[in-house]
Structure 1
Amino acid sequence: MASTTRRPRPPNTDLARLIEACGASHKSLALRVNQLAHAAGIETDYTHTSVANWCRRGMTPKWPVPKLLAQTIGERLGRPVDLSEIGMGEAETIGASVGLDFPRDPADAVRVATSFWSSVNRRDFLAGSGFAASAFTTPVTRWLVTPADETAERRGGQQVGRADLSELREAADDARRWDSKYGGGNWKANSVTDCLDRRAAPLLQGSFSDKIGRELFSVTAELSRLAGWTAFDVGQHDAAQRHFIQALRLARAGGDVQLGCYVLTTMAMQSLMRGFASEAIDMAQGAFNRAKRQAAPRVLAFTKLIEARAHARENNPNAACRALAASEDLLGRAEQDCGDEPGWIDFYVHSRLSADAAEVFRDLNNPKAALMWNRQAAAMPPGAFTRSVGMRLAIVATAHLQARDLDHGLELGNRSVDILARVQSTRAKDYVREFNTALIPWRREPAVRAFIHRTRIELGVAA
């Protein structure tokens, strides 16, 4: 039988040549790479031996370390250094693509998802170019074509049972509560990605029946959506986008069309908040039309709500009002329906619709309608949804400014800061930033200057 021994990699002479040109020792290079990695929140412990292995044995460190190494050498040379110059040009392509695939085959889907979670939890993953609306094109198209795989049965490692599913569901419920109260930056957010990597990933590679498998894929998709939501909330849009894509694929593996609809609606919301309102409309409408015969009314109602918000950002009041009315009608049907609905949609009640409707009309520059809807949203319990209450106050404060009522605007703006100062959410701060921008016509007023100073000190936000 022929030998199958692996051929050694050739030395990385390009890297060795640049290191010699910059005059740095292997020890000093390793130290600087570690410093840059730690500043980016990545735990590394490279030494002079690591650098020697990169040069003599042609080894490539995990992404994004090649980029940090190029930066380190560039600092020494006094010029930018491209990855191709250090013989690691392929590393960027590999690092940039992790988590963006939406494989047709379920086994490949598990491999892609678990590889991404592993990268995130080893803290090797570093956001690259940020959010890209085009990255959603293939996942959305493939889900719309086939929202449910035929079977979820698998024969592999450990046997998966009901107790495993209960553990994952409890983790998802716990993460949802903490996110609503304290924002995506709280310490519980990291526990979601830990759960995906350490608990869900081994289970996905185990053995399970079709019934258990569908439930396993669904609850894991829910966890991945939560991981994406918390990343989105703190401004990590690249990581959030990848979590959402994996959540959509896992929902398909579980045959859970209504969860797929919800995930796709969340993706539409991210697109909307990143400035792609037209794409968000297409995604929300696609989610609704694909799931309208299988999803619960409350799930479909939320999809119509996000469509309404996207139409408002496009300054289309007629389309926004139609979508909002459809959402309200579906929510009314949900209140009358005694059928089962998933627990993850229980947050969407009439007070939440009213709060978002206030935002819709704020975006349409219709303060009278915004304030009318806000009066209906006043029943939102602040203890359970701290972040939502703080954001709503900022939205309504902006509507008061549109109505030329500075005093009421500042009063609500200060109440919003009181709440959001305790919440770790970049998304929430964006609402305060929008309010500060609306204050520009009154920027010479002492009370306005004091408020802007307060937001800069307490939230790190300025106009």
Structure 2
Amino acid sequence: MDAAARHRHGDTAPDHELTTLLALAGMSHKALAKRINELAELRGVSRRYTHTSVANWCRRGMAPRAPAPALIADALSERLARRVTVGETGLAGPGDLPGPAGDGPSFPRTTSVALTEAAEFWSPVKRRDVLSAAPFSAGAFSTPFLRWLIEPADPAGGARSGGGPRVGEGDVRELRQAAEDVRHWDSRYGGGSWRSTPMPALLYERAAPLLRGTYGEDVGRQLFAAVSQLARLAGWIAFDAGDDRAAQRHFVRALRLARAAGDRPLGAYVLTTMAMQSLLRGHPDEAVDMAQGAHEQAGGREAAAVRGFAKLIEARAHARLGDERAACRSLARAEELCAHDRQGQDAPEWIDFFNRARIVTDAVEVFRDLGRPRAALGWDRLAALPANRYTRCHGMRLAVVSSAHLQRGALDEALAAGRQSVAVLRTVRSARAAEHLRTLGSHLGQWRNVPQARSLLAELRPAS
């Protein structure tokens, strides 16, 4: 008999479902009680369950009040390595029927709820449950974008007295360094490489406990910013590896944490990254809106690099829409802001890639997308990012250059650039890089009767 039936009839029959699941999980009453209390603390709820509590649920059919049934299901899910629903535990009461699923992650209005939801999402069980086979959804960004646009920085409220560790500036520095190490590795080897993929585990095992810790206002704001950087990186890595919905959810957590940190430039950077994902998933109109919002709300002169990057992504979105005038205007503004940044204060380390060479790299793609191959190749001669540090970007740019040569009918030059692209990207594990090679392959298809073109197409197939 399930919990709903017991509630209706006032019975206290044993909960055989829960007893069976505990046996399958090899979990004692004491172990379950301990894990429920830990999960409750993650949600900011105080619970003090004991082995006696669990015995009462199993043997006497007593049903605990919310959120305990959901926590029990989560604890069993962790142990069994599969999703266990509340219904399977026999604890689903009359009011426990699930509501309609939302289109995407929430963007809590309060900092405390934002921290709790982030820590819960980074749990391996939660991520498996939410993200299984989920595709990209442009609508998932709508509410986060709007709420950040209205209020890009929370009022003071970074202090916390939690039950976790005392957090200091040394902890924050450790998170920042971890973000920098992963960022540089990702640029060279891609989001699918072995060192990039453990990012969610780092967030769950290291960042989440610190968010639940004790810290003052200043350290709290620094902590939120550092974890926001890690969450943005987790999203970027997931996106680069082809896991779009996971990327979206990480990005939204990062945006909310940037707001909690009161860091407008960081929030604008996260939003621009979201715009880039939307653009590359076929939603250039939404990308324009987000990039413009990021530019307007990033801040003043101190945020010149971030604002310039937003304009650069806006230029790419306009190009996909075929609006050459708007693309050129945005590109010119990106160049102006890049020059202002060099004259002003040092930009944060997480935006150090935004320089003349990065603008040139994106401009090549802008003009390729606009169908102006001569302009694209003219830009290509101006500057280049260091290939040993930005391996993925260098390889993708070569693929774009190859496509531009094909647009003007220069097959020999296209084949040379294409072969270089394949060679560079052999060490990179990146779904985005593979997409660039597939695009090159589709452009090359009309020359499939030429032996040299067939040879390159054969190289492109396994690489893409």
Q: TM class by shorter-chain length?
A: 0.7 to 0.9
Q: In the alignment, does 2:448 pair up with 1:454?
A: no
Deviation readout 1:91-110 (Å, 9 max, x if unpaired)? 7966x77x701100101001
Q: In the alignment, does 2:445 pair up with 1:440?
A: yes
Counterpart of 1:145, as a letter, is: I
Q: CA deviation at 1:67?
A: 10
Q: CA deviation at 1:429?
A: 0.8
Q: CA deviation at 1:440?
A: 2.0
Deviation readout 1:220-262 (Å, 9 max, x if unpaired)? 0000000000000011000000000000000000000000000
Q: In the alignment, does 2:118 pair up with 1:113?
A: yes
Retained in 2: the 8 A contact 1:121–1:197?
A: no
Equivalent-residue separation in structure 2 for 1:241 and 1:62 (angstroms): 24
Equivalent-residue separation in structure 1 for 2:371 and 2:216 (angstroms): 53
Correspondence for 1:341 among 341, 347, 361: 347
Could you say what the CA RMSD is over the residues aligned between the two structures, in angstroms?
Answer: 2.8
Match of 2:148?
143
Match of 2:44?
none
Q: CA deviation at 1:121?
A: 8.2
Q: 1:66 to 1:217 in 2, by over 3 A?
A: closer
Matched residues, percent identical? Answer: 47
Equivalent-residue separation in structure 2 for 1:237 and 1:405 (angstroms): 35
Q: In the alignment, does 2:417 pair up with 1:423?
A: no
Q: In the alignment, does 2:172 pair up with 1:165?
A: yes
Equivalent-residue separation in structure 2 for 1:317 and 1:306 (angstroms): 14
Match of 1:332?
339
Mean alpha-carbon deviation: is it higher for 197-206 or for 115-124?
115-124
Retained in 1: the 8 A contact 2:248–2:274?
A: yes
Match of 1:192?
199
Match of 2:162?
156
Q: In the alignment, does 2:3 pair up with 1:9?
A: yes
Correspondence for 2:106 among 101, 108, 114: 101
Q: CA deviation at 1:126?
A: 3.6
Deviation readout 1:352-373 (Å, 9 max, x if unpaired)? 1101000000000100110011
Equivalent-residue separation in structure 2 for 1:298 and 1:131 (angstroms): 28
Counterpart of 1:441, as a letter, is: Q
Match of 1:399?
404
Retained in 1: the 8 A contact 2:373–2:407?
A: yes
Mean alpha-carbon deviation: is it higher for 253-262 or for 146-155?
146-155
Q: 1:419 to 1:343 in 2, by over 3 A?
A: same
Retained in 2: the 8 A contact 1:172–1:192?
A: no
Q: CA deviation at 1:334?
A: 1.1
Match of 1:85?
none
Match of 1:74?
none
Counterpart of 2:349, as a letter, is: G
Equivalent-residue separation in structure 2 for 1:140 and 1:214 (angstroms): 21
- Please, which runs of 5 or more residues in structure 1 have no aligned partner? 1-6, 13-25, 31-52, 69-88
What TM-score do you get using the length of structure 2 for normalisation?
Answer: 0.79
Match of 2:317?
310
Q: CA deviation at 1:298?
A: 1.1
Secondary structure of the 1:190 match is coil
Q: 1:383 to 1:118 in 2, by over 3 A?
A: same
Retained in 1: the 8 A contact 2:367–2:375?
A: yes
Q: In the alignment, does 2:253 pair up with 1:246?
A: yes
Counterpart of 1:309, as a letter, is: R
Match of 1:130?
135
Equivalent-residue separation in structure 1 for 2:428 and 2:5 (angstroms): 50
Equivalent-residue separation in structure 2 for 1:91 and 1:174 (angstroms): 41
Equivalent-residue separation in structure 1 for 2:328 and 2:2 (angstroms): 65
Q: In the alignment, does 2:268 pair up with 1:274?
A: no
Deviation readout 1:314-342 (Å, 9 max, x if unpaired)? 000000000000000110111122x1321
